[in-house]
Structure 1
Amino acid sequence: MKISKRRQLLALALFIGGTSSASAHFPWLASDSDGHAVMWFGESTDDRTYPMPEAVQQIQLHSTNASAAGKTIDMKPVETKDLVGIQSPQPIPEGDEIAGSVTYGLYHGMKLTYHVEHLPQDDAKAWPSDPRPGAALQTVITSAKNGDIEVQLLRNGQPLPETEVKLFCEDGHEAGTETTNSNGRVSFSSDIIEPGLNSVMAGITDKNAKGELGGEAYSSTADYLTASFRISSDAAQPKKQTESPKVIADSDVSIQPSGLADLPEELTSFGAAFVDGTIYAYGGHTGSAHSYSTEEQSNRLWALDTTDPDAKWETVATGPRLQGLALVAHGDRLIRIGGFAAVNDIGEEHDLRSQPAVASFDPKTKSWTDLPALPEGRSSLDAAVLGDTVYVFGGWRLNGESEDSTWHQTAWSLDLADPDSGWQSVATPPFQRRAISVAAHDGKLFVVGGMRSEGGPTTRVDVYDPSAKTWALGPALPGSGMAGFGSSAFAAGGRLYVTTLDGFVHRLAADGEAWETVAQVEPARFFHRMLPTADDRLVMLGGANMQEGKFTSIDAIQIGDSK
């Protein structure tokens, strides 16, 4: 069966013009149960009966297996009720990977080229970890210890940053979308990886490329890559991590009453920091769940002197009404970052506005000083300080209704020793998430859990190394994806701790490769704050529980010898 070039080019033009990837057809490469290579031309991995253009049928496929290197895999047209495309008459060599490229033609002066890859092995340990030499556009796909899939996108052997990569599962649905970081890498959580054939797709255009094809000139190029890999059912099962965590038997961590005065008001989604023996809490949501208004947002900066056993909370300053903000300590000062303001009254339609404002608070003068604003309004973010630099990750920009929001994939840093230098961009995060927690530990920044722009809540942990300006994937939190929503993270005594929605306290193992579940909090809380008040003690304040409601009591996490 044939398809006109004009019809396919029109479909692809819709894709280039900005519609969903389902608006166009692409080649997909795989292997069948008998080991034959099969390739089809469809909207997704399960669309296998759309006619394949003759130009695409001319693709030359190769195996990276040493015995077959340089040899073209023989492919023949096939048309059945389940598959229309091309197929190898013989099983493919038991190699590392099969791949190929084909130039389709020109469309309005643009040269179109397709690239396909397939990893036939069920065992991810057998996937090649080195790029193929000479490939114009390719991926290196690996499986992390926690079951996440890591993809590096390369163009002419070099990392391709800030490029959208889509993940498709065997039934054809789009499971997720991520944008490559400065190293050309993205990660897809084990929560969304399914058994069977999974595929990633990426496309790039070069509007300055010029040349000739078949005697016709072109002024730009477009390249599209699909790369498929198999996940066995056995391998997929442990990745879900849905079992409830278990506290380790020899844990040296316990939950105790803090002995501190209760918060004077119920708060969630607030900022908190610890400076010179005093706990500070700013802003937050004071109303009922999912009700947002000016009256239900706090504008108070509360302070509690922990060195005085009889101390009570006092309001030391006020400011804008905010929630979903970050508050961090730097030296003897507080730094307030972002958040959103509800500009509607109670009972009115929600009108929520993310704010870019940043300010420093001096406890001695009890006054705020404006610092350079964030480049964009941002809320549901978090931040941490490393040395003299504060880093901001995650969040979104609300501009009215919550549905009218922009998820941020930018990250920023500010040198607090020289704030006039302004906010500097950080290497593009390989995620879009909000309701995260951020902590500084061992010279790096840990971005924990949160809600994804697509795919719901996650336990994923991303780690930013500011010295190398690179991102890496850390071990995911134990438990289901929901456990990572509205967590709180902080380092104490040289170790990193996270408290989660399901009521567990997790500690990063000394080698950084896994989490230890060291305590359980009852009742659990989320959208709270956890702060270290000593090397062997953290406190949890504020937050809520889905069954119990909001908290004013303060619990302590007492740490033994954890080194």
Structure 2
Amino acid sequence: MLFPYTIRFALIAVACLTLPTLAHAHMAWLSTDDDGHVVLWFGESPNDRTYHMPESIAKIELQSNGSGIETESVKNDSLVGIRSTKPAPASAEVAGRVTYGLYHGTKLTYHVEHLPQSDPSKWPVDARAQTPLQSVIRSLPEGGIRVTILHHEKPAKDLEVKLYCEEGHEEGAAKTDIAGMVTFTASQVEPGLNAIVVGMTDPDAKGTLDGEDYGSTTDYLTATFRIPGEVRGEIPSNTTSRDDASNPQRPEMDDAIGASVVPSNLPELPEELTSFGAAVSGQSLYVYGGHTGNAHSYSTQEQSNRFWCLDLSAGEQAAWQKRATGPSLQGLALVAHGDRIIRIGGFTAVNAAGETHDLRSQNLVAAYHPATNTWTDLPSLPEPRSSLDAAVLGDTVYVFGGWKLDGQSDDSQWHTTAWSLDLSDDTSEWQSLAQPPFQRRAISVAAHEGKLYVIGGMNSQGKTTTRVDIYDPSSNAWTQGPSLPGSGMSGFGSSSFATGGRLYVSTLDGRVHQLGEDGASWRTIAKCNPARFFHRMLPIADDELLMIGGANMEIGKFKQIDRIKLSGH
């Protein structure tokens, strides 16, 4: 998966993609709780407070009124992070900064600020001395705010400032002017906790940290503040007033299902992969292509054209075997139809490592025949497409979502079409379906009870979503299903499949959800630790699924294969 980004912005994602908005990376966030204690956490948004806290971030030194704040570690159901041992003064700004370490050759530093004053007119108007990156936030008479970004106490021009509400939605974005200022209106700020996020990179800064050299520095600033008034209610899971985050509520675990995620005892993948294709046919697990390189780096050397097969019937004695290769691809779909494996779309990097990215979506479709270890071409997609997904229902494969990457251009064409192909008829051609009511990529698609579920992803405005759309082939019509639990980011790079008459989805936050029997809501039945996305989840029985590969933003790529054991399904 790919998103273009400027030199000033780079996201902390150890996966084969660059996310388009700063709050969709993991950031350090600072606030105060109901008792006035300072709390700091590391998450995707102001609402994501239970993600793993890196040791380096936990060492941050916080100050208020020039005095240090004593903190202790906290790990409970509502907060994983640090908390001050005593309430902090409610009249002074709380701030701190900490170096995370080196990340792919850049020194990464987080800056955090919090305005605890309940009255915005009491916010401080003076900048802090000897502070590399900071904000000064002022309330406006008409109800909005004006934000000034200072770099070494001087106005920082042309930096993008993003505004988020407590639930994690982006409410606005603007670039600083020559005075380092941006303005957000009263309609953009919300009652309750708000946050601004800024990132900047100095590509010429060089030095040494802990004995290792770095060639650039990257700094991120989050600043939180509260707006008085009645906090707006959360969006119920069965509504869609926001496409970018349909249900920000934190999922509650349903222990009645009795599901668990355990090691599979199968051999690890032969290489680290994300954005690959995978399918199960009979007793064989197949894996094709994928991204093998560092985050944000794409080249011919960092894409796989390898096709792997694992005999599941051999259990712990199984070994990966290389089968007939094909084009180098990632962001493709791989599905099973009988004993054949069908490969659909994806994109190919044609540039060498270190060169300008030249990425091209493909319209290639092919079928693999295990008996002869050969690929044969099927009718090509009507247009090149990657970051798509597909599912088979009966003898027909359905393709949804995705976009067209076209060489070195930053402009990508988001597809508005969906297609089907009859795999039982050698003379068949792709047939267009009713136009989807969305443009999304990084989705997952599953066939369930005669319908196709298109789950989550990112829309053409760069917003992630938990939205679920359902296509009914019998009526050639679309309806909207219940949104996934969790924040909008939860639906990005998910994997879904039906087994045992039930539909399951594995999401970026590590949770596994089951669609209710009535199809009206989801139940959270298990949690994978660590979480992963751009992985594959495939059934091997009515009560078992495999969780294969993928990546975690904090840890990186996975080779391991886990097993999801279901009971009471």
Q: TM-score range by the shorter chain?
A: 0.5 to 0.7
Change in CA separation of 1:194 and 1:448 when aligned onto 2, cut-off 3 Å: farther
Q: Give unmatched runs, 5+ long, in structure 1.
A: 1-173, 177-191, 197-231
SS at match of 1:373: coil
- Could you tell me whether the CA contact under 8 Å between 2:494 and 2:535 is conserved in 1? yes
Aligned to 1:482: 489
User: What amino acid maps onto 2:284 in structure 1?
Assistant: T
Aligned to 1:244: 250
Change in CA separation of 1:193 and 1:253 when aligned onto 2, cut-off 3 Å: farther
Deviations 1:5-27 (A, max 9, x none): xxxxxxxxxxxxxxxxxxxxxxx
Aligned to 1:269: 275
Output the CA distance in 1 between the equivalents of 2:448 and 2:171: 32
Aligned to 2:212: none
- Could you tell me whether the CA contact under 8 Å between 1:351 and 1:401 is conserved in 2? yes
Output the CA distance in 1 between the equivalents of 2:477 and 2:387: 23
- Could you tell me whether the CA contact under 8 Å between 1:489 and 1:530 is conserved in 2? yes
Aligned to 1:544: 551
Q: Give unmatched runs, 5+ long, in structure 2.
A: 1-169, 173-186, 192-229, 240-245
1:522 paired residue among 515, 529, 538: 529
Output the CA distance in 2 between the equivalents of 1:363 and 1:194: 58
SS at match of 1:392: strand
Aligned ranges for residues 44-443 of structure 1 at < 5 Å? 237-238=235-236, 241-309=247-315, 310-401=317-408, 403-443=410-450
Deviations 1:395-418 (A, max 9, x none): 000001362210001000000011
- Could you tell me whether the CA contact under 8 Å between 2:257 and 2:566 is conserved in 1? no
User: What amino acid maps onto 1:466 in structure 2?
Assistant: P
Deviations 1:124-149 (A, max 9, x none): xxxxxxxxxxxxxxxxxxxxxxxxxx
- Could you tell me whether the CA contact under 8 Å between 2:470 and 2:481 is conserved in 1? yes
TM-score, structure 1 as length reference: 0.58
- Could you tell me whether the CA contact under 8 Å between 2:450 and 2:472 is conserved in 1? yes
Output the CA distance in 2 between the equivalents of 1:194 and 1:508: 35
Aligned to 1:133: none
- Could you tell me whether the CA contact under 8 Å between 1:396 and 1:408 is conserved in 2? yes
Once the two structures are TM-superposed, the CA of residue 508 in structure 1 deviates from its matched residue by 0.2
- Could you tell me whether the CA contact under 8 Å between 1:444 and 1:466 is conserved in 2? yes
Output the CA distance in 2 between the equivalents of 1:175 and 1:374: 37
Aligned to 1:117: none
- Could you tell me whether the CA contact under 8 Å between 1:372 and 1:419 is conserved in 2? no
Output the CA distance in 2 between the equivalents of 1:236 and 1:504: 20
Deviations 1:176-221 (A, max 9, x none): 9xxxxxxxxxxxxxxx99999xxxxxxxxxxxxxxxxxxxxxxxxx
Output the CA distance in 2 between the equivalents of 1:474 and 1:193: 28
User: What amino acid maps onto 1:536 in structure 2?
Assistant: D
Once the two structures are TM-superposed, the CA of residue 311 in structure 1 deviates from its matched residue by 1.1
User: What amino acid maps onto 2:463 in structure 1?
Assistant: G
Output the CA distance in 2 between the equivalents of 1:556 and 1:413: 31
1:557 paired residue among 554, 558, 564: 564
- Could you tell me whether the CA contact under 8 Å between 2:171 and 2:189 is conserved in 1? no
Once the two structures are TM-superposed, the CA of residue 531 in structure 1 deviates from its matched residue by 0.5
Change in CA separation of 1:549 and 1:235 when aligned onto 2, cut-off 3 Å: closer
- Could you tell me whether the CA contact under 8 Å between 2:262 and 2:564 is conserved in 1? yes
User: What amino acid maps onto 1:486 in structure 2?
Assistant: G
1:467 paired residue among 467, 474, 484: 474
User: What amino acid maps onto 1:249 in structure 2?
Assistant: D
Aligned to 2:148: none
Output the CA distance in 1 between the equivalents of 2:467 and 2:339: 33
- Greater Cα radius of gyration, structure 1 or 2: 1
Output the CA distance in 2 between the equivalents of 1:540 and 1:241: 24
Work out whether 1:505 is the aligned partner of 2:548. Answer: no
Output the CA distance in 2 between the equivalents of 1:367 and 1:249: 45
Computed over aligned residues only, the root mean square deviation of the Cα atoms, in angstroms, reads 2.2
Output the CA distance in 2 between the equivalents of 1:374 and 1:274: 23
User: What amino acid maps onto 1:333 in structure 2?
Assistant: R
TM-score, structure 2 as length reference: 0.58
Output the CA distance in 2 between the equivalents of 1:509 and 1:271: 27
Output the CA distance in 2 between the equivalents of 1:234 and 1:287: 42
Once the two structures are TM-superposed, the CA of residue 548 in structure 1 deviates from its matched residue by 0.8
- Could you tell me whether the CA contact under 8 Å between 1:299 and 1:320 is conserved in 2? yes
Once the two structures are TM-superposed, the CA of residue 251 in structure 1 deviates from its matched residue by 2.5
% identity of equivalent residues: 64
- Could you tell me whether the CA contact under 8 Å between 2:276 and 2:291 is conserved in 1? yes
Once the two structures are TM-superposed, the CA of residue 347 in structure 1 deviates from its matched residue by 0.4
User: What amino acid maps onto 2:485 in structure 1?
Assistant: P
Once the two structures are TM-superposed, the CA of residue 233 in structure 1 deviates from its matched residue by 7.5
Once the two structures are TM-superposed, the CA of residue 276 in structure 1 deviates from its matched residue by 1.2
User: What amino acid maps onto 2:448 in structure 1?
Assistant: H
Once the two structures are TM-superposed, the CA of residue 245 in structure 1 deviates from its matched residue by 1.3
SS at match of 2:301: helix
Once the two structures are TM-superposed, the CA of residue 530 in structure 1 deviates from its matched residue by 0.5
Change in CA separation of 1:194 and 1:328 when aligned onto 2, cut-off 3 Å: farther
Once the two structures are TM-superposed, the CA of residue 392 in structure 1 deviates from its matched residue by 0.2
Aligned to 2:139: none
- Could you tell me whether the CA contact under 8 Å between 1:175 and 1:455 is conserved in 2? no
